[in-house]
Amino acid sequence: MTNHIHAIFGFLNLSAADCLDILMVAALIYLVFRWIRGSAAMSIFIAVILLFVLRVVVAALNMKLMNALLGTFIDVGVLALIVIFQPEVRHFLIRLGSSYGAAGKGADFLGKLFGNKQQDLGGEAVNEIAEACRAMSEAKTGALIVLPHKDPINQIVETGDIVDAKVSRRLIMNIFFKNSPLHDGAMIIKGDRIEAARCTLPITQRTDIPPSYGMRHKAAIGISEETDADVVVVSEETGGVSFVRGGMLTTIGNINELKLKLGTKEEKTQ
């Protein structure tokens, strides 16, 4: 009887390598869970994990037919999931690369190697953007301003119209004026220059966004999830100003708070 029980549960005799293997898999599952939490892929991810656990159990019990059936299902299912959830997979890989690309001296070396330079706002640009947002907030003029840092967003710039002009509150307000042909979309500001306007941003796939937030806010969260860009949003409905960094949206109470957010460099590397 003892030998029979040992034969069934013998896989529980774990070595140091087995423990390390389990810890690595658990860490990987945790990271994937964090990145897709709140998205449509969450339920399917949990189902895949349950199927994988079931396959481990039937393999330990030496249930050959069930093991083969689950193995075939999982192998084909993973390929199908990659095709079906291509946007989520792309989003995960982009965030993984951005997380490691924004940390440490190695990131600085890679940035220099590939020509990705930190794009920081000068004091004058910070003031001009903040004052423009104050005026647009009072007039309830909708605005969406993207401020990239190290991560390149050339594919986003290409969706809009090149402006290449010095940052100016009047120019920002004119571009977002409701009758302007460039008002619909996002403005890209790199350093002290307005690079492009009327750009199209990716929309976040999160389902926990409050219904009070419109498409501008969802687009702001989307681009900040995929890159290290900061985003300023002015609501057309309420005139409220929001600041988005790393997928986290902060409501701005006053213009000085916005200036502080725009001028803060330490948080950008977190």
Pairing of strands 186-190, 193-199: antiparallel
pTM of the model as a whole: 0.62
- The phi and psi torsions of 214 (rounded to 5 degrees) equal -90, -165
**Digit-coded pLDDT (tens) for 102-116:** 444 444 554 554 555
Q: Are residues 44 and 81 in contact, defined by beta-carbon separation less than 8 angstroms?
A: yes
Sign of CA dihedral 163, 259, 169, 191: negative
Higher-confidence residue: 51 or 38?
51
Q: Are residues 232 and 239 in contact, defined by beta-carbon separation less than 8 angstroms?
A: no
Q: Are residues 206 and 189 in contact, defined by beta-carbon separation less than 8 angstroms?
A: no
Averaged pLDDT of the chain: 79
User: 123-269 belongs to which homologous superfamily?
Assistant: DNA integrity scanning protein, DisA, N-terminal domain (3.40.1700.10)
- pLDDT value at residue 206: 80
- pLDDT value at residue 266: 41
- pLDDT value at residue 100: 54
Q: Are residues 164 and 189 in contact, defined by beta-carbon separation less than 8 angstroms?
A: no
* Percent residues over pLDDT 70 in the chain: 74
Alpha helices in the chain (DSSP H): 2-8, 16-36, 42-60, 64-84, 86-101, 104-114, 123-139, 154-157, 169-176, 215-226, 255-263
Mean pLDDT of 1-30: 67
Secondary structure (3-state) at 61: coil
Domain ranges of the chain: 2-84, 123-269
